[in-house]
């Protein structure tokens, strides 16, 4: 989600698709923005301390990122491995709390550094239904920065929106009785609450890990 602002801040405020030349071109292989690594390290450290954080990153083969945090896109397999290792080490419920905090921190980063202030002000002034459509177009234009090689789409409805990630990296190859994409859920909720409605709530209503065809996030506002 690191590049959403390139749509919101292109001079016209309204987001346009990446193919319009206003954003980066998607890479041929799956890569994900560095927030997926750096914010999860921050969340782990906040909730479980430095020792547990290093243990997780060592087990995932990513200890180098604690000493030299990534500043550019990372291979999606590293994010997949980090989440898979976190679930194995901490258990589903405990790691879900870590992933949610990491998603909230990612949302905060996007809001502070990637979406220009004029765009934030305009979105907050618009009716929720219109603001959500403007915002989701920007998200869709740069979905490759968080969905990697997965696909992103959306379906608006009267008082909300359904966000869909097909072949979600966070659920890929996993089997679970509960949804696993807490990082995405929390990131979406933080951004929609700040830019569309303070009452916005996001829940993962379908997850590929539980047998759904895609990971689906219901946004209500």
Q: Are 116 and 8 in contact (CB under 8 A)?
A: yes
| Average pLDDT for 173-198 | 97
Query: 161 pairs with which residues across the strands?
Result: 156, 219
* pLDDT tens digits, 156-175: 998 899 999 999 999 999 99
Which pLDDT belongs to residue 118? 93
- Four-point Cα dihedral 107, 110, 180, 128, nearest 10: 60
pTM above 0.85, yes or no: yes
Which pLDDT belongs to residue 174? 97
Residue 200 has pLDDT above 60, yes or no: yes
Strand ranges inside the chain, DSSP E: 31-32, 74-75, 151-157, 160-166, 201-206, 215-220
**Paired tokens of 197:** 């409605």
* pLDDT tens digits, 58-88: 999 999 999 999 999 999 999 999 999 999 9
CATH of domain 5-17+32-220: 3.90.1520.10
Residue 176, burial from CB neighbour count under 10 angstroms (0-12, 13-18, 19+) = middle
> Which pLDDT band holds residue 11 (cuts at 50, 70, 90)?
very low
| Average pLDDT for 38-58 | 98
Give the residue carrying structure tokens 């996001």.
202
Which pLDDT belongs to residue 29? 64
Which pLDDT belongs to residue 164? 98
Which pLDDT belongs to residue 195? 96
Sequence ranges of the domains in the chain: 5-17+32-220
**Considering the chain, what percentage of its residues have pLDDT values greater than 70?**
87
Which pLDDT belongs to residue 55? 98
Dihedral class, residue 87 (left if φ above 0, else alpha if ψ from -120 to 50, else beta): alpha
Which pLDDT belongs to residue 1? 54
Residue predicted with more confidence, 7 or 59? 59
Give the residue carrying structure tokens 């690191």.
2
Nearest to 195 by CA among 22, 18, 1, 44: 1
Q: Are 168 and 208 in contact (CB under 8 A)?
A: yes
For the chain, first and last CA: distance in Å? Answer: 21
What is d(CA 37, CA 48) in angstroms, rounded to the nearest whole number? 16
CA–chain centroid gap for 150, Å, is: 12
* pLDDT tens digits, 121-159: 999 999 999 999 999 999 999 899 999 999 999 999 988
Residue 94 has pLDDT above 50, yes or no: yes
């Amino acid at each position: 989600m690191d590049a959403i602002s390139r749509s919101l801040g292109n001079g016209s405020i309204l987001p346009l698709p990446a193919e319009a030349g206003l954003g980066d071109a998607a890479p041929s292989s799956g890569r994900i923005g560095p927030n997926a690594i750096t914010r999860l390290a921050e969340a782990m450290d906040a909730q479980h301390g430095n020792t547990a954080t290093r243990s997780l990153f060592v087990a995932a083969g990513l200890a180098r990122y604690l000493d030299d945090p990534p500043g550019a896109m990372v291979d999606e397999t590293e994010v997949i491995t980090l989440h898979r290792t976190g679930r194995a080490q901490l258990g589903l419920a405990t790691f879900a709390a870590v992933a949610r905090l990491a998603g909230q921190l990612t949302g905060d980063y996007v809001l502070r550094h990637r979406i220009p202030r004029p765009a934030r002000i305009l979105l907050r002034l618009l009716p929720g239904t219109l603001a959500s459509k403007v915002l989701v177009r920007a998200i869709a234009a740069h979905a490759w920065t968080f969905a990697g090689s997965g696909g992103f789409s959306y379906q608006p409805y009267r008082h909300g929106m359904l966000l869909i990630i097909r072949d979600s990296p966070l659920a890929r190859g996993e089997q679970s009785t509960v949804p696993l994409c807490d990082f995405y859920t929390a990131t979406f909720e933080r951004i929609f609450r700040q830019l569309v409605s303070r009452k916005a709530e996001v829940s993962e209503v379908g997850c590929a890990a539980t047998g759904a065809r895609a990971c689906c996030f219901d946004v209500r506002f």
